[in-house]
Structures are given as structure tokens and as C-alpha cells.
A and B are shown apart, each in its own frame.
Chain A
């Protein structure tokens, strides 16, 4: 059975390949950066099971590795490869020759991921499922990428080494922005265990007039927005704000409808996700991927949508939660 562990090993191989290619070109900063991550992906399951067994030094080693990653990124030791993917004229000629066939492998990723995510549970040999039910979309994505890679190698008639060097070029283009989401998740865990969320909820409830229904709705919505911006993730904000404001005040005292309030509260948080560099995989990674000059370019493009939608969301809360 294919599980998400196999997918992590595949990612470890790709990271190790990028580290090796950088090492050969004496880009030691990049090589160390991707090398540490390759080790984290290869040994991840072992670290977690050791941690559960009460053996903490492997997790502490990862912690030290994270400090090294941050120092490499923060001191500018990571180099981007200049966009030297063949000459522009060559790429245009190849584009003319291959035409729409180039779309095929790219669309295969989407189609196979979708098909396996929806129908993968029926793929069985005897009673053994081929795909694990947990994280099935990640397994589906990995299978889709593998099949699409074979298709891409056939369409472009390029050798496998070319696929690896192009992978390394894109990875170096994204640089540390690719790792930021993992680092932020770790920060979220620290905030959780140090009681940052409870402190924020306590401060919020201390300053709002609890008798006013509108004031409570505003406090809940703004709280979700701001706390999501700080944590970079509406999921982290939801239990804190809903437990601190929505349950006792809105649902308890003012009789709000829990289903509507919860859904709209979460969506208010999503408006905050559009506004914050802490939501790195949605806002900072694309800026790096699209090679924008301003790292905050994506946030600048979406803040008007986010604020207008946030206002609409507050109106929906007042309308639908108090029918």
C-alpha cells in the first residue's frame, strides 16, 4: 500500500538531488540548505516515533537544523541560479515545434490527482487498498507527478538529468520561501503551548462591550481576521476566537445560530489569510515562484478583495446568525 511516508521519501530524494547538484557547482550554502531538508524528510518518521517514545534528541537535532536554515537564509547565503534555461530563441522554436503537446503533461498532473482523489478508494488488489486513505490527495499528487514526468520526458525527448537540473533551478528560485510554511507551522505550535492564544482572547474580551450584539459580532470577526494574520492560518485562530468570544457571548448570551456563525467566522479568518506574509505558501511562495520584484506583490494585489469581502462577511453574520 502506498502511504504518505513513501511520498516523503520521494521528496527526500528530490531534495538530495538538488543538494548534490549545488554541491558540484560549489554553491555550498544552497547545498547545505537542501541537504538538511533532505535529511528531515528522510528521517522524519523516525524522529516522530522516537519523540513519541520519549526520546527527544532527534527532534532537538531538527530544531538545531532549523536554526541553521534560518541563518543561511537570513545571511544571504542562498544563491538563485540566473534564468539560464536555454536561450529564449531555442525555447520559442521548441514551443513552435511541440505546440499544444506541451500542455499534456501539465494537465495530466491535475487530471490524475483529481481522478485518484475521487476514485482512489476503489483501487484494490484483493482486499488490499493500493492507496492509503489518510492524506490520499498527497499520495494522489505524488503518483500524478510521477506519471506526468514520464509523459514530459517523452514529449520533450529530454534526458532524466535535464528534469533534475530544471527541478533544482526552480527550487533555488523559490529558495527559503518554500520552507517558510513549515517554519510557521512550528511557530504556531510554540504559540499554542506558550498560551499566546489564550492571552489574546483574554485581552479581547476585556475591552469589548459584551451587551451589544453588533459589538460582539465585530469583535469576533475582527478577532478572527487579526489573529489569522498573526498566525498565518485561520485554523489556529478558530478555536481561540470561537471559544473566547463566539461560544460564551454570541451563542450563549445573544442566541446566535452556531452553524452559520462558525462558517462565517472561519471565512472571516480566510480574509485575513489573504492579507498576511505569515500565510507564506499562499502569499510569499507565489511571489518567489513568479519572480516578482516586490515580495509582497501578491498581498498588494488581493487586499482590496479581502477587505470588501470581510465587510460582506460581517453583514452576512448579522443577517444569517440571528434569524
Chain B
């Protein structure tokens, strides 16, 4: 076996450790790995180009940008923030945990594209989370604001990943079923999807606890007017 193409993996790891531009790292890794395997430059270019074109679909999220941009121009983010700030009972933790549960349930019934970073996180969830955190801690620091926005994006990811595998017709389940079928093991997709339920429940519990922990930490470091659920204001 030829182990030299592993140099491409090393290129990726090294490039990200050195914090080089990701586009350069990825292209360099492809070239290193291809040359190490003995591909010629024209073969390598054709391989790169063909797979780049075959995988166009991730960029289709740009279709949402004219709508979201126009609404932002008209004050969508400001409105989302102000509206949440008026809702007294809605804490940062309650907002994010409710979104986490909703995202998981929607993904479980096959509606993965209903939410997402451009559709819901940037225009709605992140400003709402900021609004809720701001009401709890009026003097919210910039670093805390960053953390709240990043946590909103993380919550969307966790909800999507650990909901969708429960849905029978999703790529992951069909991939598992197809792989086993080619290896001579016949399985019903539903028997695979059911085994994703324990992890889905664990994901909800673990991430919800972490959201509560972040809220508690913000209450300590940022000061608050309305003590958050179970906050310890010692120190």
C-alpha cells in the first residue's frame, strides 16, 4: 500500500495549526496528496474540477441572501432584538433550549432546510439571543456578546445533527443501509434510524445543560439585574 498520500492529511493539520488561509490549505493538500499518489497535473486538475462542479449544492444557501439582506436593511435584526428584550420571562437559556428542541423535532420529520445559519440564525436567533442576554445583563461585554452569538450557531448545529438521523429518508440512514446491503447485510432503514434516538435525547440533555451553564457564568461575570435561574452571585 502507498502511504505517501497521507502527506495530504498532514498538510491539512499543519495548515490549520499555523492558521493559514483555509482555501490555500485545502488546495495545497489536494495537490500534495494527488502528486504523492502519482497523479499527473492534468489528471489532478480534471479530478478537482469535476468534483467541485458535482458538489455545487452547499453554495445554494446564497438564494436566501436577497430576502434576508432586504429585511435586515429594513431593521429585522433590530426588531428581533427589541421584541425579545420586551419579553420578561424569556431568558437566554429558555430561548436557546426551545430552539434546540424545535430544531431537533423539525429535523426528525425531514424538515432540515427549514432552519439554518443564513435562514434563521443570523437574522433571528442570534439577535434574539443577544437581546435576551442584554436584558439579563445590561452591561454585556463584547466578548460575552461574541460567545452568545457563537452559542446560538452551535445550538443550530447540535439540533440539526442529532435530529436528522432519526428521519428514515435522510442521506445518513440510507448511506448506512446501502453500505451494509453491498456487504451482504440486509436491514430496514427504520431499524437503523431507531438507534439514533438515544443519542438524540442525550444531545438535547447535554447541550441544554451547557446552555444553562453559560447563562450561569454570564450572570457571574457580567453582573445582572434579574438573577438568572439558579445563578450564584458569589465571588
Q: Does B24 contact A (CB under 8 A)?
A: yes
Q: Shortest distance in angstroms between A56's beta carbon and chain B's nearest beta carbon?
A: 5
The segment from B87-95, B179-187, B217-225 found at the interface with A is: B179-187
Interface residues of chain B: helix, strand, loop or mixed (majority)? helix
Contact status A102-B49, CB under 8 Å:
no
CA distance A211 to B96 in the complex (A): 44
* Chain B residue with the shortest CB-CB distance to A192: B51
Contact status A185-B51, CB under 8 Å:
yes
What total of chain B residues lie within 8 Å of the partner, measured CB to CB? 117
Contacting residue for B66 out of A44, A47, A167, A199, CB 8 A: A167
Q: Which residues of B contact A164 (CB under 8 A)?
A: 66
Q: Which residues of A contact B122 (CB under 8 A)?
A: 286, 289-290
Q: Does B203 contact A (CB under 8 A)?
A: yes
Q: Shortest distance in angstroms between A121's beta carbon and chain B's nearest beta carbon?
A: 12
Q: Does B98 contact A (CB under 8 A)?
A: no
Q: Does A110 contact B (CB under 8 A)?
A: yes
Q: Shortest distance in angstroms between A273's beta carbon and chain B's nearest beta carbon?
A: 7
Contacting residue for B70 out of A149, A238, A290, CB 8 A: A149
* Chain B residue with the shortest CB-CB distance to A94: B75
CA distance A114 to B117 in the complex (A): 16
Known interface pairs A190-B8, A305-B210; A195-B150 also in contact (CB < 8 Å) = no
The segment from A20-28, A122-130, A137-145 found at the interface with B is: A137-145
Contact status B165-A263, CB under 8 Å:
yes
Known interface pairs A11-B60, A195-B2, A262-B180; A105-B53 also in contact (CB < 8 Å) = no
Q: Most chain-A CB neighbours within 10 Å: which of B2, B22, B115, B210?
A: B22
Known interface pairs A60-B46, A149-B70; A141-B179 also in contact (CB < 8 Å) = no
Q: Does B139 contact A (CB under 8 A)?
A: no
* Chain A residue with the shortest CB-CB distance to B195: A263
> Interface readout for B163-186 with A: 1 if CB under 8 Å, 0 if not?
001000001110110011001010
Q: Which residues of A contact B27 (CB under 8 A)?
A: 66-67, 70, 183
**Which residues of A, 294-319, contact B by the 8 Å Cβ criterion?**
294, 297-298, 300-302, 304-305, 308-309, 312-313, 316
Q: Which residues of A contact B80 (CB under 8 A)?
A: 103
Q: Does A10 contact B (CB under 8 A)?
A: yes
Contact status B70-A153, CB under 8 Å:
yes
Q: Does A2 contact B (CB under 8 A)?
A: no
Q: Most chain-B CB neighbours within 10 Å: which of A59, A191, A301, A316?
A: A301
Q: Which residues of B contact A85 (CB under 8 A)?
A: 69, 72-73
Q: Which residues of A contact B24 (CB under 8 A)?
A: 70-71, 73-74
Q: Shortest distance in angstroms between B52's beta carbon and chain A's nearest beta carbon?
A: 4
Q: Does B23 contact A (CB under 8 A)?
A: yes
Contact status A47-B36, CB under 8 Å:
no
Interface magnitude class on chain A: 35 or more
Q: Does B30 contact A (CB under 8 A)?
A: yes
Q: Does B233 contact A (CB under 8 A)?
A: no
CA distance A117 to B126 in the complex (A): 26
Contact status B8-A282, CB under 8 Å:
no
Q: Most chain-B CB neighbours within 10 Å: which of A73, A183, A264, A278?
A: A183
Contact status B49-A145, CB under 8 Å:
no
> Interface readout for B14-34 with A: 1 if CB under 8 Å, 0 if not?
001000111110110110011
Contact status B9-A141, CB under 8 Å:
no
Q: Most chain-A CB neighbours within 10 Å: which of B33, B154, B187?
A: B154
Contact status A141-B60, CB under 8 Å:
yes
* Chain A residue with the shortest CB-CB distance to B124: A106
Q: Which residues of A contact B57 (CB under 8 A)?
A: 4, 135, 138
Q: Does A204 contact B (CB under 8 A)?
A: no
Contact status B60-A138, CB under 8 Å:
yes
Q: Shortest distance in angstroms between B174's beta carbon and chain A's nearest beta carbon?
A: 11
Q: Shortest distance in angstroms between B31's beta carbon and chain A's nearest beta carbon?
A: 9
Q: Does B110 contact A (CB under 8 A)?
A: yes
Known interface pairs A194-B8, A247-B183; A320-B1 also in contact (CB < 8 Å) = no
Q: Which residues of A contact B23 (CB under 8 A)?
A: 69-70, 73-74, 176, 179-180, 183
CA distance A239 to B178 in the complex (A): 10
> Interface readout for B117-128 with A: 1 if CB under 8 Å, 0 if not?
111111110100
Contact status B210-A118, CB under 8 Å:
no
Q: Which residues of A contact B198 (CB under 8 A)?
A: 316, 320
> Which 5 residue pairs are nearest across A and B when measured between Cβ atoms?
A166-B69, A95-B75, A63-B45, A62-B49, A185-B55
Measuring CB to CB, which residues of chain B are less than 8 angstroms from any residue of chain A? 1-3, 5-6, 8-9, 12-13, 16, 20-24, 26-27, 29-30, 33-34, 36-37, 39, 42, 44-80, 82-83, 106, 110-115, 117-124, 126, 146-147, 149-154, 156-158, 161-162, 165, 171-173, 175-176, 179-180, 183, 185, 187, 191-196, 198-199, 202-203, 206-207, 210
For the complex with contacts A11-B59, A66-B49, A281-B61, 10 further pairs of A-B residues with Cβ separation under 8 Å are: A7-B63, A41-B59, A60-B42, A105-B70, A163-B66, A180-B26, A199-B5, A259-B192, A286-B117, A298-B154
Write 15 A-B pairs (CB below 8 A) sorted by A numbering.
Answer: A11-B59, A11-B62, A63-B52, A70-B24, A70-B26, A73-B21, A91-B73, A109-B67, A141-B60, A187-B8, A202-B1, A243-B179, A259-B187, A273-B161, A320-B198
